[in-house]
Amino acid sequence: MASHSSASPREHTLHTIKSATNSTLNQTQISDVLRKRAESVVNDRSIDAESRAIIRYALAIDDPILSELVQWADAGECIVDNLAA
């Protein structure tokens, strides 16, 4: 196979790097919003103690289902009942 010396390597464009950075920033922002919402739920005494304890633990271990747990609590659902189902 012949090699052409006049060919130049393709350069990476800045928008590729920029979009990856924006994605990371969006994930961080979402994570911060979720963390604050979860902390708010943990401090809300109108939510049952078991649900608040589960969310507190999920928050401490960065559980991937934290957003779902917070949604259930916001909907007034008992998290223990949803996890058992």
Helix pair angle (49-60, 14-43), 10° resolution: 150
* Per-residue pLDDT at 26: 57
pLDDT at 31: 87
Spell out the per-residue pLDDT of the chain, length 85, in tens: 555 555 555 554 444 445 555 556 556 666 889 999 999 999 999 999 999 999 999 999 989 999 999 999 999 998 988 888 6
Total domain count, the chain: 1
Structural domain that includes position 50: 33-84
State the pLDDT at residue 21: 55
Is residue 9 one of the residues assigned to a domain? no
**How does DSSP assign 14-78, residue by residue?**
HHHHHHHHHHHHHHHHHHHHHHHHHHHHHH-TTS-HHHHHHHHHHHHTT-TTHHHHHHHHHTT--
- The first and second tokens of residue 78, run together, are 């008992």
Q: Amino acid identity, residue 52?
A: R
pLDDT confidence of residue 32: 87
pTM for this prediction: 0.66
**pLDDT at site 82:** 84
Query: Is residue 18 in a domain?
Result: no
